[in-house]
């Protein structure tokens, strides 16, 4: 901390916000500064979305319907919109525990996945060289006709 104060000539108020946020970051996640910034941004996005289900000003949902929506889990959405059965998926789809019905850890190992093909790029003008030349020639002739 002393080196940081010395680097900023005793005025930590002049420290760049990104630098300060990175200094607070821990292996378990962002520090207070970045956490507050992220929360503020997510709240602004949510409150600015007129279709957000909790937006009471639109009158789209009643309080009872909002309470029902809050009870829905991602595993229920997956079961209702795909061919996956409830017995084939864990309740908390974000966490993998031993004994869960869907052992995904085997599918997510890099060593058993096929390698990605080499990127070769894409030529957007392939096959359109003549129209390209004609268009630029016409654009070049416009000042002559004026």
Residue 94: beta bridge partners?
Answer: none
pLDDT tens for each residue of 96-128: 777 777 665 565 667 777 888 888 887 777 788
87/101: higher pLDDT = 87
84, part of any domain? yes
Q: What residue numbers bound the domain in which 66 lies?
A: 58-95
End-to-end CA distance of the chain: 69
Under DSSP, the state recorded for 82 is: S
Cβ atoms of 100 and 93 within 8 Å: the answer is: no
pTM comes to: 0.47
Domains identified in the chain, total number: 2
Q: What is the pLDDT of residue 120?
A: 81
The answer on 36 and 7 residing in a single domain is: yes
The answer on 36 and 2 residing in a single domain is: yes
5, part of any domain? yes
Q: What is the pLDDT of residue 40?
A: 96
74, part of any domain? yes
pLDDT tens for each residue of 4-54: 778 778 887 888 888 888 888 888 889 899 999 999 999 999 988 888 888
123, part of any domain? no
């Amino acid at each position: 901390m002393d080196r940081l104060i010395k680097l900023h000539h005793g005025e930590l108020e002049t420290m760049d916000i990104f630098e300060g946020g990175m200094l607070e970051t821990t292996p378990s996640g962002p520090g207070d500064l970045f956490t507050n910034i992220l929360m503020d941004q997510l709240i602004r996005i949510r409150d600015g979305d007129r279709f957000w289900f909790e937006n009471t000003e639109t009158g789209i949902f009643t309080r009872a319907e909002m309470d029902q929506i809050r009870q829905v889990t991602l595993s229920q959405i997956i079961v209702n919109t795909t061919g996956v059965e409830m017995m084939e998926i864990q309740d908390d789809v974000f966490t993998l525990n031993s004994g869960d019905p869907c052992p995904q850890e085997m599918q997510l190992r890099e060593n058993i996945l096929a390698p990605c093909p080499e990127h070769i790029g894409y030529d957007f003008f392939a096959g359109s060289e003549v129209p390209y030349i004609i268009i630029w020639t016409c654009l070049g002739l416009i000042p002559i006709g004026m």
